[in-house]
Chains A and B, each alone.
Chain A
Amino acid sequence: QVQLQESGPGLVKPSETLSLTCTVSGGSISNFYWSWIRQPPGKGLEWIGWVYYSGGTSYNPSLKSRLTISVDTSRNQFSLKLSSVTAADTAVYYCARYETMTEKALDIWGQGTMVTVSS
């Protein structure tokens, strides 16, 4: 079955760029929408954005100026880059897939990766 795995640095310095990759295994990245979600420690979920396999994107307006989400179909991966990070960007970052029926719900999630922003 399809599985997602986030990877990237667990510690990022303030003002630098946070970069994460989600690797899709057990299935193709094609013909799906893919998303990033984050959860600060002890807080709720926040939608970050989505990318379609063909490269189209949609971003959370509160993050849009700092955010880039891209896809690499040859590697079956999609990525997140968040620039000028601060302590407020410290969170568990999840990648997820939108289901195929209406493409509006997230049916498969990665296990999440903790990213801490600190000097």
Chain B
Amino acid sequence: QSALTQPASVSGSPGQSITISCTGTSSDVGNYNYVSWYQQHPGKAPKLMIYDVNDRPSGVSHRFSGSKSGNTASLTISGLQAEDEADYYCYSFSTRVSYVFGTGTKVTVL
């Protein structure tokens, strides 16, 4: 099964905005609004940040937002803070394999 494609790393300075892409196919990201995003700090369990492309769970900062265009979903972090430094994974419903994660992106705050 092929994972969704994410950039290996993205970096930005405090206060800047960064965007992480997640590219799939018409079997997953392209035809379903069931993309979610997870933040994972070292040694910790993943945390849900965005679900259904652009919805935020209660308690998640408004600095996190999601979007989608065609087969690519995106997570944008605005006003980057030191605590945002972590790994981020996208996740999508898929008609081929039921569910699939992205390859993961390491976010570094410079």
Contacts and interface: CB of A to CB of B under 8 A. Distances in A.
Interface string B81-109: 00000000101010001111111100000
Interface in A25-63: 35, 37, 44-47, 49-50, 58-62
Contacts of A101: 51-52, 55
B48 A61 contact: no
A106 B47 CA distance: 8
B3 interface: yes
Contacts of B51: 99, 101-102, 104-105, 107
A94 B1 contact: no
Contacts of B45: 94, 109-112
A104 B98 CA distance: 10
B104 A61 contact: no
B51 to A, nearest CB: 4
Contact of A106 (B3, B91, B100): B91
A42 B51 CA distance: 25
Nearest to B36: A105
Contact of B57 (A44, A47, A107): A107
A106 B48 contact: yes
Given A94-B46, A109-B47, A45 B101 contact: yes
Contacts of B93: 104
Given A102-B52, A104-B51, A109-B45, A45 B104 contact: yes
Interface in B12-64: 34, 36, 38, 40, 45-48, 51-52, 55, 57
A34 B103 CA distance: 22
Contacts of B101: 37, 44-47
Contact of A60 (B1, B91, B102, B104): B1
The list of the 6 closest CB pairs from A to B, nearest first, reads: A105-B51, A105-B36, A104-B34, A109-B45, A44-B104, A45-B101
Interface of A: 35, 37, 44-47, 49-50, 58-62, 94, 99, 101-102, 104-107, 109-112
Interface of B: 1, 3, 34, 36, 38, 40, 45-48, 51-52, 55, 57, 89, 91, 93, 97-104
